[in-house]
């Protein structure tokens, strides 16, 4: 096996497959599905040693779970932000009280999270955030706007990077706050309709939203350190699962190329082979970094550059092999009703954003240049 699965890991994989076969397609809503996963012990694998998760699981078993989940065509996760971003951050920087309060609810699928980082004018340049959190006797009052907030319309909580030191600049004076979303009149969520016709992203407006004093992770003023630590958790076991999904998409593109005759074109065949080869390289790189030093400089940025460009090129190839048929939808398009897209069209349109969200390609190259290659730092304005 590529990842070196031992017999006990293969037994674990069989347990995963059996559970997914029995439960995928049961028709639960997204929140209900999270609760089903939590009740069966499939959220928070590997947290059990701290008493916060559901099961003990080795790293290889976590990979087995993530890959089988991706292969099973299980529903998209609503709880992945809480499980894969917030939880590792709390385990690394949270107080005992914060871990005890929030991790069990994530592991049970009971509380969903969103990420309050990007703002208008402070997206890729995250240190430019202007959302302010004013200290009060009972906590903080948060005022500002976040944008491109995934799943905010479903979330119960938001972890917010906010400026708690008036007059501070750049990465100074920031704090990492845990803010409840259910605050009518103080938290407003506005969905953003994308080219695909869906609204997974949102604008979030905070107008004096309350955050309790004990819900500051890492201490006041240490938000930048905590926020950067969280970004390092965005790639890991989930990267390998993502690549299983990429392989499924590539398979559909290959089948379309054969069906339309586009595969007879040697240039198209060469592009298909290149996509396959690059996907294998991404997998090997992910396995290498997964088993390597935990803080390997630049590894997350390299991974993001690899998969974002690859996925975008796959979207372009998906419509290329379809020819003129790629411009025709699966149903009549009209201004009176939301338009429908087939899988290839959705892949092409959604993947246009891959090189922008989660840190643009330019930002990832800057990180590699400064932190790995030791090149002069890019000017970012006057530091305070």
pLDDT tens digits, the chain, 384 residues: what are they?
355 556 778 888 888 989 998 888 766 688 889 999 999 999 988 776 667 767 888 888 888 888 888 888 888 888 989 998 899 899 889 999 999 999 999 999 999 999 998 888 776 677 778 999 999 988 999 999 998 888 899 999 999 999 988 878 887 889 999 999 999 999 999 988 877 777 778 899 999 999 999 999 998 888 888 988 777 665 555 677 788 889 989 999 999 999 999 999 999 999 999 999 999 998 888 877 766 555 566 777 888 888 999 999 999 999 999 988 888 777 766 655 567 788 888 889 989 888 887 778 888 888 888 888 888 887 765 443
| β-strand pairing of 157-163 with 139-146 | unpaired
| H, E, C per residue of 117-164 | CCECCECCCHHHCCCEEEEECCEEEEEEEECCCCCCCCCCEEEEEEEC
CA torsion, ordered 316, 320, 323, 324, to nearest 10 deg:
30
Q: Which is catalytic among the residues 67, 234, 249, 278?
A: 234
Which residues does residue 115 pair with via DSSP β-bridges, in sequence order? 159
In the numeric block, which tokens belong to residue 376? 């002069």
Q: State the DSSP string of 296-356.
A: -TTHHHHHHHHHHHHHHHHHHHHHHTTGGGGGS-SS--BTTB-----HHHHHHHHGGGTTT
| DSSP annotation of 362 | H
The torsion of the CA quartet 229, 118, 106, 247, rounded to 10 degrees, works out to: -80
**Angle between helix 59-71 and helix 237-260 axes, rounded to 10 deg:** 30
Closest CA to 163 of 97, 204, 119, 124: 119
CA distance 204 to 181: 10
For the chain, the straight-line distance linking the first and the last C-alpha, in angstroms and rounded, comes to 53
- pTM (whole model) above 0.95: no
Please name the residue that has the structure tokens 């392989």: 247
CA 380/CA 384 separation, integer angstroms: 12
Q: For the residues of 218-240, what is the DSSP string, one character each?
A: T-TT-HHHHHHHHHHHTSSHHHH
Reduced to 3 states (helix: H, G, I; strand: E, B; else coil), residue 291 is coil
**Structural tokens at position 309:** 């460009």
Annotation marks residue 234 as catalytic: yes
Question: For the chain, what is the radius of gyration of the CA atoms?
Answer: 22
Note the pLDDT of residue 1.
Answer: 39
| pLDDT (0 to 100) of residue 2 | 52
Phi, psi values for residue 295, rounded to 5°: -115, 40
Residues listed for the chain: 384
DSSP of 256-290:
HHHHHTGGGSHHHHHHHHHHHHHHHHHHHHHHHHH
Half-sphere exposure of 258 (CA within 13 A, CB side): 5
Distance of alpha carbon 140 from alpha carbon 164, whole angstroms:
9
CA distance 266 to 268: 5
Q: Which two tokens stand for residue 246?
A: 């990429």
Q: What is the pLDDT of residue 222?
A: 86
CA distance 263 to 323: 12
> How far is residue 322 from each of residues 87, 331, 341, 378, measured CA to CA in Å?
42, 17, 14, 42
């Amino acid at each position: 096996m590529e990842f070196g699965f031992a017999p006990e890991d293969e037994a674990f994989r069989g347990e995963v497959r059996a559970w997914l076969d029995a439960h995928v397609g049961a028709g639960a809503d997204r929140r209900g599905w999270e609760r089903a996963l939590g009740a069966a012990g499939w959220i928070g694998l590997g947290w059990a040693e701290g008493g916060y998760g559901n099961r003990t699981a080795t790293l290889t078993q976590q990979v087995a779970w993530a890959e089988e989940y991706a292969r099973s065509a299980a529903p998209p996760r609503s709880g992945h932000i809480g499980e894969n971003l917030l939880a590792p951050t709390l385990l690394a920087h949270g107080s005992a009280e914060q871990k005890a309060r929030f991790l069990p609810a994530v592991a049970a699928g009971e509380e969903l999270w969103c990420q309050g980082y990007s703002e208008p004018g402070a997206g890729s340049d995250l240190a430019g955030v202007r959302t302010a959190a004013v200290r009060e006797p009972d906590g903080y009052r948060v005022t500002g706007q976040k944008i491109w907030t995934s799943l905010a319309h479903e979330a119960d909580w938001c972890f917010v990077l906010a400026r708690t030191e008036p007059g501070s600049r750049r990465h100074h004076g920031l704090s990492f706050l845990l803010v409840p979303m259910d605050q009518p009149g103080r938290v407003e969520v506005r969905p953003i309709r994308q080219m695909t016709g869906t609204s997974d992203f949102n604008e979030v407006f905070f107008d004096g939203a309350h955050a309790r004093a004990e819900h500051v992770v890492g201490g006041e003023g240490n938000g930048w350190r905590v926020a950067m630590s969280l970004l390092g958790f965005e790639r890991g076991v989930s990267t390998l699962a993502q690549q299983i999904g990429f392989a499924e998409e590539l398979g559909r593109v290959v089948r379309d190329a054969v069906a339309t005759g586009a595969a007879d074109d040697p240039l198209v065949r060469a592009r298909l082979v290149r996509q396959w080869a690059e996907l294998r390289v991404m997998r090997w790189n992910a396995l290498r970094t997964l088993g390597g030093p935990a803080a390997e400089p630049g590894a997350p940025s390299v991974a993001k550059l690899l998969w974002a460009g690859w996925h975008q090129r796959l979207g372009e190839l998906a419509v290329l092999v379809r020819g003129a048929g790629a411009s025709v939808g699966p149903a009549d398009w009209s201004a009176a009703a939301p338009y429908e897209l087939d899988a290839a069209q959705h892949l092409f349109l959604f993947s246009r954003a891959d090189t922008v969200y989660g840190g643009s390609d330019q930002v990832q190259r800057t990180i590699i240049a400064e932190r790995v290659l030791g090149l002069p730092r890019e000017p970012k304005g006057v530091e305070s």
